[in-house]
Amino acid sequence: MENHELVCYCDHVTKGEIIAAMEQGAKTLSDIKKMTGACTSCKCEEMNPSGKCCGRDIAAVMKEYWDANPDKKPKK
């Protein structure tokens, strides 16, 4: 997936915007929602070509980011 591609179709949030939020310190899905507005208007059946909500897709972007930047991953 490229950075310009939409992850959240309902709120028009791209992969790059999610990564930018993580670079600014987002550590959870709820941080991403607050910082980017992603996954807040949930009309996914209409708006998302997959017909599903983007929560899992956001989680996948977060995992990919942490795999590439393990030092940014929050300690448990």
The site for ligand FES (CB under 6 A) is made up of 8-11, 38-39, 41-42, 44, 47-48, 53-54
Residue closer to ligand FES by CB (options 20, 47) is 47
What residues contact residue 54 under an 8 Å CB cut-off, 6+ apart? Answer: 7, 8, 9, 10, 13, 38, 39, 44, 48
How near is the Cβ of 15 to ligand FES at its closest, in Å?
A: 12
* Nearest alpha carbon to residue 74 among 24, 26, 38: 26
Residue 6's H or E segment, with its range, is strand 6-8
Residue closer to ligand FES by CB (options 41, 69) is 41
How near is the Cβ of 76 to ligand FES at its closest, in Å?
A: 27
How near is the Cβ of 75 to ligand FES at its closest, in Å?
A: 28
